[in-house]
Amino acid sequence: MGNVLAFLERRDGRIGGAALEVMSVAQRVAIGLGGSAHALVLGGPGASAGVGELARFGAAKVEVGEHDGLAEYTPEAYASVLVERARQGGYAAVFLSASAVGRDLAPRLAALLDVPLATDVTAVEVVDGRLRVERPVYSGKAFAQIEIDASPALVSMRPNAFPATESAAAGTVAVFTPAVDPAALRTRVVERKLASRGAVDVSEATTIVSGGRGMKDAAQWHLLEALRDALGPDVALGASRAVVDAGWRPHAEQVGQTGKTVAPKLYLAVGISGAIQHLAGMRTAKTIVAINRDADAPIFQVADYGIVGDLFEVLPRLTAEIKSLRAGS
């Protein structure tokens, strides 16, 4: 049997973004294995709203587990439901996103299913009925092509590394009520302090505006925030290790080997020289723009487009030009 399960996250009450990438890959792999792709969505009552859309991205069947205890992500409750579904379905492969939730959830699922886990995968193919995946090691300084000798093959996919491709399937929706016992959970979220602006994690953003030591001072970050706001939604701020170490920015924003490894569609490196450990973390971005005063900075070796100049002059102009472009379109 070659059926494939895609675990899809709801975010802000809907399915979107990286979940559609996961669905598309699951569908492609299912075809390669001669099976069909199923989707699993978990959430509180009403979580099934809008899941019919998944048919367009290849879901032959969408299973939705609704329970009050699943309204917010908790690793133990989600893992227990997911492992049961994965076992019952006898899947050849299980895919999820290497999002913040996926990174927390997938290892527990792997241990419960007693199968290895390929994390943060950037390429997937089926060769002779077996799954072959590629994933970065050393934060992207190298890539390892690996084969997993276990069933199901469990894979977490790097956000933004795969296209969301439309491919129609039946998309029957089945809602079920899983057994969840909140009292059995050994961890409990007691407080959630939101960051200043909507929560776009730097590892999932489609565009990243990243600042380095060239910004001179933490107080100058309003220039990057203005550019971020001009670029629209799904844009996150990033930072080099130097400015995180200096305490200008939180570690959650750090891009590089001791921070996040990212693959956005657009990466703007502002005042970042391009240390090897930073380049490792962002070099798979689709388009890289560098703005730096030093024409010899290593960042220009990976940038598609560069401007050599004083960022304090270039940034406001760039923000203004993008704003007027948006206003005109």
Which CB atom, from 28 or from 283, has the smaller least distance to another protein? 283
* C-alpha distance from residue 206 to each of 29, 90, 235, 256 (Å): 24, 34, 6, 17
How far is it, in rounded angstroms, from Cα 60 to Cα 3?
A: 10
How far is it, in rounded angstroms, from Cα 258 to Cα 113?
A: 30
Which CB atom, from 53 or from 201, has the smaller least distance to another protein? 201
How far is it, in rounded angstroms, from Cα 124 to Cα 140?
A: 17
Cβ of residue 298: shortest distance to another protein, in angstroms?
12
Residue with tokens 């069909």: 36
Cβ of residue 140: shortest distance to another protein, in angstroms?
6
Which CB atom, from 101 or from 173, has the smaller least distance to another protein? 101
Cβ of residue 18: shortest distance to another protein, in angstroms?
12
Cβ of residue 205: shortest distance to another protein, in angstroms?
10
Which CB atom, from 13 or from 116, has the smaller least distance to another protein? 116
Chain centroid, CA 50 distance in Å: 21
Identify the sign of the CA torsion 246, 251, 255, 256. Answer: positive
Q: Compute the CA torsion angle 191, 196, 199, 205 (nearest 10 deg).
A: -150
Which CB atom, from 27 or from 97, has the smaller least distance to another protein? 97
How far is it, in rounded angstroms, from Cα 265 to Cα 299?
A: 17
Chain centroid, CA 284 distance in Å: 13
Return the bridge partners of 254, or none.
239
Which CB atom, from 62 or from 106, has the smaller least distance to another protein? 106
Which CB atom, from 36 or from 156, has the smaller least distance to another protein? 156
Cβ of residue 129: shortest distance to another protein, in angstroms?
16
Instruction: Judge whether 68 and 45 are in contact, CB under 8 Å.
Output: yes
Cβ of residue 288: shortest distance to another protein, in angstroms?
7
Work out the angle between the directed axes of helices 311-328 and 222-231 (0-180°, nearest 10).
20
Instruction: Judge whether 18 and 204 are in contact, CB under 8 Å.
Output: yes
Cβ burial of 106 (10 Å; 0-12, 13-18, 19+) is buried
Cβ of residue 99: shortest distance to another protein, in angstroms?
8
* Sheet of 4-8, strands arranged across: 117-121, 153-157, 93-97, 4-8, 37-43, 59-66, 172-176
Which CB atom, from 137 or from 218, has the smaller least distance to another protein? 137
Cβ of residue 303: shortest distance to another protein, in angstroms?
5
